[in-house]
Structure 1
Amino acid sequence: MRRSVGFWGVGESGRSTRWAGLIPAGYSAVLTALITGPLLGSGYLLLRDAVSTPRSYLTDSALGLGDAAPRAVPQDALLAALSPIVDGGLLVKAILIVALWAAGYGAAVLARALLAVSLGPQLVATTLTLWNPFVAERLLQGHWSLLAGYAALPWTALAAYHLRSAGADAGPRPSPNPVAVEADARTTSTDDSRRSPTAPSTRHGRRERHTRSTGRGPRWRRAISTGQQSTTVAAWGALAGCLAAAGLTPTGSLLAGCVALSTVGRRNLPGTLALLVAASAPWLAATALSGAGAEPSDPTGVAAFAARAEPGLGTLGSLAGLGGIWNADAVPDSRTTPIALVATILLLAVVASGIRAVLTAVPEDRAGLRVRRTLFALAVAAVVVPALASTGWGMEVMRWLVVEIPGAGLLRDTQKYVALAVPAFALCAAAGCRALAARIAARSTNAVEHQSVSRGGSAAIPVAVLFVALLVAPLLDLAFGVGGSVRPVHYPLGWQRVAEKIDATGDVAVLPGGMFRRFPYSGKVAVLDPAPRMLPNDVLQTGRLPVRGLTVSGEGTRAVDAENALLHGDSAQRLADLGVGWVLVERSTPGPLGDSAKTLPQLEKRYEDQNFALYRVPGDVARATETPGAHRIIAITAHLLWATLLIGGLLIAAIYRPIRR
């Protein structure tokens, strides 16, 4: 019988397989705890782009309806909806930790489903998925929600595999239960012996017609039919949940969408595309309603966000080693030394050891073979295309895309898409572990069971330990929050008091100018201003990003006009005309203040302490920029659709998952 693995990692062989399925889950939890250890304490994640706050609000910006492109939907709306119930900092840490655990465990389940590997190779797949430069760099950059999309990739591929297995292209059906077949054969033989010799075919014909008309027949046939239907329903539910989970950010939607659309097969493409659009509804609706995403992106961002070459590797080598993020400061210390070259060689050696096995045909599982080959092709493209995009002519193509095609700005950080290589890399590592263990077992033992030798026998665990060591040792500084860099912070009480004082309409302008801050409590690196998530009114942000000595412009002009009005010392009336009702001065961070000292005395001071000063703009604040109520209703409906897919899809996958005895 072809081996089957459920969506949660439970196989068909009973209690022992269930316990074996728990070991990769526990191992993934241990690695996740080693990586995120500091976050298990109290406090909030505040590191570069990562901003978690005790409470956030369902503002227009949280719904993606502000001036900036909707890059943080539906994650901001999710936190705004849940943070009144559960502390927002706890939510962000929980999502990040669960995402990393799911990524590692999903890799083990995918390897077991597509390769039928034993426990040792599964743990190797888990290790490669969690302990790699991509995870380290995205943690340091603060891309916690992108890692949720990363975690969905192996589960998306697994759902696609189950859909293909249940379809016409799955190859031969599983063999029936031999006991049931033998019993059915005996019954048929007995009936034949009692049949009248003058009418041997009449009774048989009536029996076949009865089976077709009533749907009753041999038990194994009904079981197969029921199992296939259950698998199909569960697979569609799992796919919906995975696409929604990945859709926590637009980039996550694109990552999971690439995996899903390339692996589900032609029969399932229309349904998959519909699910992808529904899972992307929050940012698609926000883009259409706000119009911000329709504006061309700043072409300066192409060079600023291009993949970066690491020491001794070049751009292609860095990407093949799952590194190469554009921000040279958001990398582990080990990646700034020749150790990066050693780590990449070891990683690629582990992956290369299993390429042949991953691409080799398995006659009884054509669906699995096609999924494996597709994932491998996707991995090659995920490394080669970003490398080409960092060349001179590649950047020219990218500049044309971001200027001429609305929304193409999502593609400028090309290193993000290296995540697509990880599922295939994990499969290759698992297959290589099994292949090496099988060679060792064949030479050192006289095992007579072919299956035991082919799976490596007793050599599988030692080889797995070797592979794990080769992957972990060169990147030891990933442990404990990437060397202690990813750790929680504690906000001063003044943030809460400022939020309580904002009790009237009008957007908030913030001083000093710029979007990034260096607070005494946030560490040495610049962090994204938490004001937009701390305050109940929309906070105007220019979207200007300082990257590699360049300044990448954002979308919209009103935030830029408001900041310039403050820095130039314009009148309070000018701020009111721009829709600014409040001005917050963050005193504990450096940054440009310009001539704002001329404007601030014209405002009404509402709160002041050593860290903050809050001012109310007097007079009538312009309401021309107010978002129409219909737009908010549409945006909220899109978010509810996304939440329905996430919760409903996972529930369907859990309820209808096939149970095999």
Structure 2
Amino acid sequence: MTAPLLAPGYLLLRDAVSTPKAYLTDAALGLTEAAPRALPQDFFVAVASHVVDGGVVVKLLLVAGLWLAGWGAARLADVVVPAAGLAGQFVAATLAVWNPYVAERLLQGHWSLLVGYGCLPWVAVAVLRLRGSGDDATWWPVLFWIAVAGLTPTGLMLAATVALACCAAQGTGRSRPWCAAVSLGAAVLGALPWLVAPMLAGSLSSSQAAGVPEFAARAEPGLGTLGSLAGLGGIWNGQAVPDTRTTLFALVATAVLLVVVVVGLPTAVRCPGARPLLVLAAVAVIAPALMATGPGLAAVEAVVRAVPGLGVLRDAQKWVALALPGYAVAGASAVVTVARRVPRGAAAAVCCLALIAVLPDLAWGVGGKLASVQYPPGWTTAAALVNADPRPVVVLPQASMRHFPWAGDAPVLDPLPRWVSADVLTTGDLNIGGRTVPGEGTHARAVERLVLSGSGVEELSAAGVGWVVVEGREGPQLSLPVAFADDDIAVYRVGGDRPAASHRGIAIAAHLAWLAAVLAGAAGMIAARRRSAVH
């Protein structure tokens, strides 16, 4: 699935951006006008990229997320449906890794979301063990997996939801309130970076409500919205979809996936640990479908306007990830359901091969669309210029997404903000289906207008602009002092500056608290395992 990424280069595909190095800028700490969508991942990559190349860091995390999803699904099947054995674990692992949700999120570039996705079955295992017996189970795994999933806000919210659902499972171990308190405590600790940042920067706004219809789940050919979501597809961006899901073959693929799941339901529902996961899976499919209806869209818009921090709800299809634990358990249970008529090994082989056969283009980087990219030499020179004198940067052309001929056919987020130690003024505007969904960057928008109107050095400097960078060959020619230019990028020196955001120390402390949760959870798990081995 990720083999093309093993080649030298960087992941650049839509929302996925990796650079040789990243820095702890105000944007990386969430102290800008934009909502803190990429915390604490930007912090982590910035720190890690000073030890290992940033492109390698992102690739390793992406591969690790998918690996954890498969391994975790097998582990969950072993805990919840032990009768399924190794055969059922194979089915659970295949279903968790080889499905439309993974393919679409790879094409959308949501590598950090897939890290959170990979943590979900592990969160379920940790909480179910607490509820089940509690004898040798500790709360350290709950802290660790929720914190790791918290690499992105959505991942943490998904993990916390799975944890709370598992608290409802039957068991003779720790009480439901105790498990819920541990889960919520871990979630709050993991969420500190993006809970604190908006309060420091005042970055939350209701402007995100404008994009709710554009981000609604999408119906695939031959399937309604509900059917697409039940088949783990239906991402809002029709361009980030495997080729086989753009035809009526999507109907066949969805039928195969659902048959594997439905066949296992009679066995799964008899397992106490599976019931809350199955209920959660049903909600995870039905709720986004309702959110895509007229009344649903109106309700989401109203919620986002009333509580701006809930703009994360816009991309409704990503919440289908909550179906993973339930689907994995049901898939594993399928081999038990048919065990009287079909040997378990044969049933598992048929299920696994069928799941792979109906989504063949997930292989080799989703049909070669996921690949390593090399930056042109001019980009390295431009980044070095800015890093030698890190003043605020304005980047043209406008809008957040770029088309670079050297980066493939798909658009990509501007890589420059992650490659320079200066703050890059970005509007966050997105063009979706010919309509512009405005971002939160009002100051950046005003400065862009100044640049495009032909303002000189003095006026731009007074507005706090230090550099103007024009990316690509189609950008405007400016009457400003040229520091560097080639066919791929041009850098203009202005010389203005703006003070760094206040409260950087508090923001860094919040990120360190998240990192401490990850490390403490890992240390606690290792210590508990050693004690268990001794006894």
Shorter-chain TM-score: which interval? over 0.9
C-alpha distance after superposition, 1:207-260 (max 9, x if no partner): xxxxxxxxxxxxxxxxxxxxx2x422xxx1111111111111111111101111
SS at match of 2:222: coil
* Alpha-carbon distance in structure 2 between the residues aligned to 1:486 and 1:308: 22
SS at match of 1:521: helix
Q: Which amino acid aligns with 1:273?
A: L
Q: 1:49·1:143 contact (CA, 8 Å) conserved in 2? A: yes
Matched, 1:163 2:133: no
Which residue of structure 1 aligns with residue 523 of structure 2? 651
Shift in Å at residue 79 of structure 1? 1.0
Matched, 1:130 2:15: no
Q: 1:125·1:426 contact (CA, 8 Å) conserved in 2? A: yes
Shift in Å at residue 571 of structure 1? 3.0
Matched, 1:558 2:443: yes
* Alpha-carbon distance in structure 2 between the residues aligned to 1:654 and 1:128: 29
Give runs of aligned pairs for residues 581-592 of structure 1, distance below 5 A: 581-588=466-473, 590=474
Q: 1:495·1:534 contact (CA, 8 Å) conserved in 2? A: no
* Alpha-carbon distance in structure 2 between the residues aligned to 1:86 and 1:517: 26
SS at match of 2:338: helix
* Alpha-carbon distance in structure 2 between the residues aligned to 1:574 and 1:247: 42
Q: When the two structures are superposed, what TM-score results if normalisation uses the length of structure 2? A: 0.95
Shift in Å at residue 489 of structure 1? 0.3
Q: Which amino acid aligns with 1:376?
A: L
* Alpha-carbon distance in structure 2 between the residues aligned to 1:408 and 1:135: 24
Matched, 1:426 2:328: yes
Which residue of structure 2 aligns with residue 50 of structure 1? 16
Percent identity, please.
49
Q: Which runs of 5+ in 1 are unaligned?
A: 1-34, 168-227, 362-368, 442-458
* Alpha-carbon distance in structure 2 between the residues aligned to 1:659 and 1:288: 45
Identify which range, 113-122 or 319-328, moves more after superposition.
113-122
Q: 2:393·2:465 contact (CA, 8 Å) conserved in 1? A: yes
* Alpha-carbon distance in structure 2 between the residues aligned to 1:627 and 1:304: 32
C-alpha distance after superposition, 1:578-612 (max 9, x if no partner): 22111111134x45x3xxx4xx32x3322222322
SS at match of 1:614: strand
* Alpha-carbon distance in structure 1 between the residues aligned to 2:337 and 2:279: 21
C-alpha distance after superposition, 1:13-69 (max 9, x if no partner): xxxxxxxxxxxxxxxxxxxxxx11111111100001100111111101011111111
Which residue of structure 1 aligns with residue 459 of structure 2? 574
Give runs of aligned pairs for residues 13-92 of structure 1, distance below 5 A: 35-92=1-58
Which one has the largest radius of gyration? 1
Q: 2:13·2:370 contact (CA, 8 Å) conserved in 1? A: yes
* Alpha-carbon distance in structure 1 between the residues aligned to 2:245 and 2:294: 25
Give runs of ≥4 in structure 1 deviating > 4 Å: none
Q: 2:116·2:149 contact (CA, 8 Å) conserved in 1? A: yes
* Alpha-carbon distance in structure 2 between the residues aligned to 1:578 and 1:398: 37
SS at match of 1:354: helix
Q: 1:297·1:408 contact (CA, 8 Å) conserved in 2? A: no
* Alpha-carbon distance in structure 1 between the residues aligned to 2:428 and 2:253: 36
- Aligned match of 2:217 in 287, 297, 307? 307
Q: 1:558·1:578 contact (CA, 8 Å) conserved in 2? A: no
Q: When the two structures are superposed, what TM-score results if normalisation uses the length of structure 1? A: 0.77
* Alpha-carbon distance in structure 1 between the residues aligned to 2:41 and 2:160: 18
SS at match of 2:64: helix
SS at match of 2:276: helix
* Alpha-carbon distance in structure 1 between the residues aligned to 2:291 and 2:472: 41
Give runs of aligned pairs for residues 71-470 of structure 1, distance below 5 A: 71-116=37-82, 117-167=84-134, 228=135, 230-232=136-138, 236-264=139-167, 265-293=176-204, 295-361=205-271, 369=272, 371-437=273-339, 439-440=340-341, 459-470=343-354
Matched, 1:642 2:514: yes
* Alpha-carbon distance in structure 2 between the residues aligned to 1:315 and 1:548: 19
SS at match of 1:118: helix
Matched, 1:485 2:391: no
| Number of matched pairs | 523
* Alpha-carbon distance in structure 1 between the residues aligned to 2:81 and 2:523: 27
Q: Which amino acid aligns with 1:419?
A: A
SS at match of 2:20: coil
Shift in Å at residue 142 of structure 1? 0.3
- Quickly say closer, same or farther: Cα 1:352–1:154, change in 2 above 3 A: same
